[in-house]
Amino acid sequence: MIIPCIDLMDGKVVQLVQGRTKALEGDAPLAMLGKFAAFPVIQVIDLDAAMGRGSNDAIVEQLAARAVTRVGGGVRSVERAQTLIKAGASKVIVGTAAFQAGGIHEEFLWGLVEAVGRDAVLLALDSKDGHIVVKGWQEATTLKAEEIIRRLEPFCGGFLCTYVDKEGMLQGTDMEWYRRLRQATSHEITAAGGVTTVDEIQELSRLGIHAALGMAIYTGKLDLGELAAMQRQAPLS
């Protein structure tokens, strides 16, 4: 499945390079949602909430009410996850709160599963320099995604795995990393970070991995019409 991304900062749709430098702004959030109407699922990330410097709650709720969305950014409490699900999000994306002191925050995750259901949880395994990063990708842990992913299976319906090293750089992604992740879990995987070409999307599809796309769409590197045709021809459930 091809999943377009809407990343929000200061009330605007943006694209960042490696989660730090703003490279461009897109159209208004609802206008972008209209452009992505051909795709069954949209990924919405509140970057301000992820970085702990505010939120875009009103916009997130508008998007979640109008489309099938996976929503993340600052989901660090059970109450926040419940609010997003009640607002219409089909799944919540949880990263930072899933980890503590170099390990898995099991107490929080069990509470999350009990509150919203395992299938409504996507755990974010964002990797930079080989290790999982948290707090808006600003802080590194000692954990490696491929080593810990199987232990996280009881707490989620799938994983969002972002290769931060290439995020927003239009240089391609690390297919070998995704092959290792695919071998490590039978859960749903969504790939993000540097996916730039149709060939990469097709290879991910052959691995049974969804592709979340941002910069390559916003810059026109990938054509929305061609992507929509690909989605219609070979949807990945």
> 84: Cβ–Cβ under 8 A, 6 or more apart, which residues?
60, 64, 71, 75, 92
pLDDT per position as a tens digit, 165-215: 888 778 899 999 999 999 999 999 999 999 999 999 999 999 999 999 999
Q: Provide the token pair at 194.
A: 């540097």
Output the CATH code of domain 2-233.
3.20.20.70
Catalytic residue among 126, 165, 174, 199: 126
Residues of the chain with pLDDT under 50: 237
Residue 119 is a catalytic residue? no
Between β-strands 158-163 and 188-192, what pairing exists: parallel, antiparallel or unpaired?
parallel
pLDDT at 181: 98
Ordered by start, the domain boundaries in the chain are 2-233
Specify the length of the chain in residues: 237
pLDDT at 46: 96
Residue 174 is a catalytic residue? no
pLDDT at 17: 86
Catalytic residue among 7, 48, 119, 199: 7
Phi, psi for 11 (deg, rounded to 5): 80, 5
